Amino acid sequence: MNTTARSTDTADAIAAAWNGPVGRHWAEHQDRYDAMMAGFNDALFGAAAIGDRDRVLDIGCGSGCTTREAARRAGQGRVLGVDISEPLLDRARALSGHLAHLGYELGDAQVHPFPASAYDVAISRGGVMFFADHTEAFANIARALRPGGRLAFMCPRPAAPGTDEGRALGRLASLLGQEQAIGGGLAEGMASLARPGRIEDVLTGAGFREIDVTPVTEDTHWGKDAADAVDFFLSRTPDRTVPDETRAAMREALLPYETERGVLLRAGVWVVTAHA
């Protein structure tokens, strides 16, 4: 199989996942996913430094939490959210109402024909890991930015062994199999930008400069209690039945992280900034 064919197959599989059960699950549980990632918003928006008149592109915007926040910050500018998932864009549009300077488009950001030099800032909260070819994708985003335009995104950092998240998610993964723990066959994509060296190589290859990769660690919210968090995990694959003892072992793995504010796991991301 040549590289082009492999990339096409990968892109098709990723698009199918985000337009199939994975995307529908994220759309249906948008409030839970937003609550899970909320702790990272300040770091992302601090890095993006969006100004009132900026033209902003939100890559892999999903149900649009960060797109709407960008639109609040760029009140005199304009904001476009792009995503490959129809169910998530339906949810984004339903939640966004009608704001003249906020819009959404369906598209694969790797190849989407963005107008050249049309944006001041490109942001992404976890929407840049699933490209079939990351260098090609970031080069396409660089072309959409004006010269000197900013890129600010976050992507998962591997859970270090011995940390809360490492222990709890490791236990769930061993009980369920890694794919089930992460969800929907997207484990490989989720980890694709886990290494700072890889992030720097990809962005340099795409023409970005002044690359900064900073670790950020925050609480992530998984459910109101351990049983609720287990239900959420298992809802990702509704066709699979899990024995009662597995469910009980999952709950036990999450019990140490129950707090008054729900099940909280410390989790790490990279917050990455660069200039086109």
Query: What is the C-alpha to C-alpha distance for residues 167 and 254, in angstroms, rounded to an integer?
Result: 10
127 binds ligand SAM (CB under 6 A): yes
45 binds ligand SAM (CB under 6 A): no
Considering only 69-77, 81-89, 233-241, 244-252, which stretch makes contact with ligand SAM by CB under 6 A?
81-89
Interface with ligand SAM (CB under 6 A), residue total: 24
Q: Min. distance of Cβ 249 from ligand SAM in angstroms?
A: 27
Q: Min. distance of Cβ 22 from ligand SAM in angstroms?
A: 8
84 binds ligand SAM (CB under 6 A): yes
Q: Min. distance of Cβ 10 from ligand SAM in angstroms?
A: 10
Query: What is the C-alpha to C-alpha distance for residues 95 and 117, in angstroms, rounded to an integer?
Result: 29
When binding is defined by CB under 6 A, the residue of 32, 78, 80, 85 that contacts ligand SAM is: 85
Residue (of 94, 100, 97, 98) closest to 74 by Cα position: 100
| SS3 at position 240 | coil
Residue (of 47, 34, 67) closest to 272 by Cα position: 47
When binding is defined by CB under 6 A, the residue of 44, 74, 80, 109 that contacts ligand SAM is: 109
Q: Min. distance of Cβ 62 from ligand SAM in angstroms?
A: 3
When binding is defined by CB under 6 A, the residue of 54, 69, 108, 120 that contacts ligand SAM is: 108
Q: Is the dihedral of CA 259, 69, 199, 6 positive or negative?
A: positive
Which residue type is seen at 168? A
When binding is defined by CB under 6 A, the residue of 61, 121, 267, 274 that contacts ligand SAM is: 61
When binding is defined by CB under 6 A, the residue of 25, 36, 50, 62 that contacts ligand SAM is: 62
Query: What is the C-alpha to C-alpha distance for residues 157 and 271, in angstroms, rounded to an integer?
Result: 9
When binding is defined by CB under 6 A, the residue of 21, 36, 37, 208 that contacts ligand SAM is: 37
Residue (of 101, 58, 54, 55) closest to 83 by Cα position: 58
Query: What is the C-alpha to C-alpha distance for residues 52 and 77, in angstroms, rounded to an integer?
Result: 6
Q: Please, which of residues 141-200 interact with ligand SAM by CB under 6 A?
A: none
- Widest CA span of the chain, in angstroms? 57
| SS3 at position 42 | helix
Helices 134-144 & 196-205, crossing angle to 10 degrees?
Answer: 50
Q: Min. distance of Cβ 121 from ligand SAM in angstroms?
A: 15
130 binds ligand SAM (CB under 6 A): yes
Helices (H) and strands (E) in the chain, counts: 13, 8
Q: Min. distance of Cβ 206 from ligand SAM in angstroms?
A: 14
Q: Which residues bind ligand SAM (CB under 6 A)?
A: 14, 18, 23, 33, 37, 60-63, 65-66, 82-85, 88, 108-110, 125-127, 130-131
